[in-house]
Structure 1
């Protein structure tokens, strides 16, 4: 099966959670906008195609299927590539964890765009500083403590007792937060998550991807942005 992934060029963003899954699975895929430009997504977003209407990128084309929303895409890919356990209960657990990751990603975004996505960061710096203070002091510990407990309850290595797409997403969360909020992250006592991050990073296909040009570096166009004043 060959997939077509549609996401904005020049940034990791939410599309990176899907890329990590495809790369770890060794799946054949095309990152379409990187080849044809962002405008290639317009017909899909305008509904000028068959299949489901995506609200926004990322979305995945698999045969005639159009699948949008990160958690939904991973819920589809996981069983097809051995990246989720077989039981219904554990697949639902994986989906639950991924939806919680989605909530965290939205809060990360709002640290630098707390007023409006359409405004530049520079137009909302005062509000961003207030939002980031609460995020650093309250929300990062709350989310990471939850995921730390999930790994502990899973046996100390994986939240689902075996490798899954959730591990890949938690790797991206840890890497992104360490880039955006290094001072705040240095204070977090989450040894199981740090160990999980390293083990994912060392997986051969993930390691090859991270060392390749396909992995766009973190930057101030994506979700995880490092503004020193927000990590004060």
Structure 2
């Protein structure tokens, strides 16, 4: 089966978490938004769903259409060995992914703290205040949590869940990449406190399928239209 991923063609965004899982699994998929007239195809498919998603990303898998990043990864993880087989383990990975979703939402709100319909330039003063709190309080709170998960005795394999890579590890890699892009000064200062997460990031980057993907044209570069944006005035 060939999956169809529906997401916007010019940003990594929330779709990137799904792309990483598909690439690691070696799954056949079509990134519909990056085809000719892709954005129009995404919009048309969004309107035509029997069980409509609020917004992309969504994934078609045969007769199934699945929306929401964490929900899509829950499905892919069970099908492609990116989550434990036992129900308790699958729910734990899903819980970690939902916590990553919270972190990603807060990262987005550093540059759009007032409203997503406004331009960044319309809320720069508020963004500076929000970014300062995110760097000073929220990044350490989230990363300390995930570092603590990695350091639990039963998870000394270097992964967030047991001794095998899961989609939560892939998502944590993407978070570290995004934070480094958006806040390079702050992350250079903060990262030494999280050696487990740095090692996890480096391990994921070196996995054959992921390394090939990162070096390919399929990997969209970070930019100032996505979730993780680099505005020098917000990095401290």
Shorter-chain TM range is: over 0.9
Offset of 1:182 from its aligned partner?
Answer: 1.0
CA separation in 2, counterparts of 1:102 and 1:49? 24
Q: In structure 1, what is the equivalent of residue 114 of structure 2?
A: 115
Q: In structure 1, what is the equivalent of residue 18 of structure 2?
A: 18
Q: In structure 2, what is the equivalent of residue 5 of structure 1?
A: 5
Conservation of the 8 A alpha-carbon contact between 1:17 and 1:172: yes
Offset of 1:137 from its aligned partner?
Answer: 0.1
Q: In structure 2, what is the equivalent of residue 41 of structure 1?
A: 42
Conservation of the 8 A alpha-carbon contact between 1:44 and 1:53: no
Computed over aligned residues only, the root mean square deviation of the Cα atoms, in angstroms, reads 0.9
CA separation in 1, counterparts of 2:177 and 2:187? 10
Conservation of the 8 A alpha-carbon contact between 1:156 and 1:192: no
Q: In structure 2, what is the equivalent of residue 159 of structure 1?
A: 160
Greater than 3 Å deviation, 4+ residue runs = none
Offset of 1:100 from its aligned partner?
Answer: 0.2
Superposed, which structure 2 residues align to 1:78-97 within 5 Å?
Answer: 78-97=77-96
CA separation in 2, counterparts of 1:225 and 1:156? 32
Q: In structure 2, what is the equivalent of residue 135 of structure 1?
A: 134
Q: In structure 1, what is the equivalent of residue 218 of structure 2?
A: 214
What's the secondary structure of 1:30's corresponding residue? strand
CA separation in 2, counterparts of 1:173 and 1:166? 10
CA offset digits 1:84-116 (Å, max 9, x no partner): 111111111000000000000100000000011
Offset of 1:45 from its aligned partner?
Answer: 2.7
Q: In structure 1, what is the equivalent of residue 208 of structure 2?
A: 204
How many aligned positions are there? 230
Structure 1 unaligned spans of 5+: none
Structure 2 unaligned spans of 5+: none
